[in-house]
Amino acid sequence: MTKATTTEASGDEPERAPQRRSRVSGIDRAVQILDHLQQEGRAQTAYEVARAIGAPLSTVYAIVEDLLDKSLLARSGDGGVWLGPRLYHYGLAYARDLQVINVATHEMHVLAREVGETVQICGRDGGMMVVEAMAEGPGHFVITSRVGTRVPLNWTASGRLLVAGLDDAERSALFRRSAKASPTGRAVTDPATLLAQARDALAAGVSIQAGESDYAVACIAAPVLDEAGACPITVSIVLPEFRVNEEHANFVEAVKAAARRIEDKLGWRVGPFANGRRYG
């Protein structure tokens, strides 16, 4: 409750309760701008950014200019702005100290040489799968995605696995919010079906999709589970669809073995999720 104040004898107005500030801070606006550009995956004008994040155009212009001066943004050739080179250096410094990615990246290269195909390390950002690292295999058919590529969880084999650690209600809500139709029209969008597929994939310790996000492209992914049973990353083989049928068992065993090696090196294969009870 608000405590009443006493009017002074001089006739001054009663003291008013302070108003709750609704203004968004400059740092919050800067983060909104950077997040929006990352999510869009392309350069945009300050006007497009302001409209998308619901901020005053004058405010966005001022912050964009400040970020440009500090190389946190860079101008594109079409008059838009994009993420700047300073962010790349921050990312490199962060990655050097990120044990999980360092360990996973080593095993990623080992697996790529072993199977002769592209291998990716993927993580989750909300309802999106993000390619965090990638190694191209020595094969004749090279299938690649840029590091930083973001696609809806329901398009990918990894997406069924990255929901480990969430309960069924959380998984269903996440799929309901994030599932989208894919370019091929083959990606499952029904939350109940996705939930069942996630359960099956986690129980098997492997997830396979073919042609859901790209024509004639398949993916075989295995979860890397931490001590609590969450899946911070997956390791996945990206390959032509026809090879899944030809060498299915070999690819499955290779990707699961790579995931186990990552868990071993991080000390995660101890406790309740070790010794065949890792999934579920």
Please report, rounded to a whole number, the percentage of residues in the chain having pLDDT higher than 90: 62
DSSP assignment letter at 273: T
User: Where are any strands of DSSP class E within 79-216?
Assistant: 81-83, 118-125, 128-135, 150-152, 207-210
pLDDT in tens, 206-260: 999 988 878 888 999 999 999 889 999 999 999 888 887 777 889 999 999 999 9
Q: For 131-155, what is the mean pLDDT?
A: 82
With a cut of 80, say whether residue 69 has pLDDT above it.
yes
Q: Do the Cβ atoms of 263 and 224 come closer than 8 Å?
A: yes
Whole-number Cα distances in Å, 166 to 18, 90, 112, 220, 231:
41, 30, 30, 22, 10
With a cut of 50, say whether residue 12 has pLDDT above it.
no
Q: How many residues does the chain have?
A: 280
Average pLDDT, the chain: 85
pLDDT in tens, 20-56: 445 678 899 999 999 999 888 899 999 999 999 999 9
- At 25, the amino acid letter reads S
Coil, helix or strand at residue 203: helix
Phi, psi of 82, deg, nearest 5:
-140, 170
Report the C-alpha gap between 176 and 172 in whole angstroms.
6
- Name the pTM for this structure: 0.70
pLDDT in tens, 72-123: 999 998 889 999 999 988 887 777 667 888 899 999 999 999 999 999 999 9
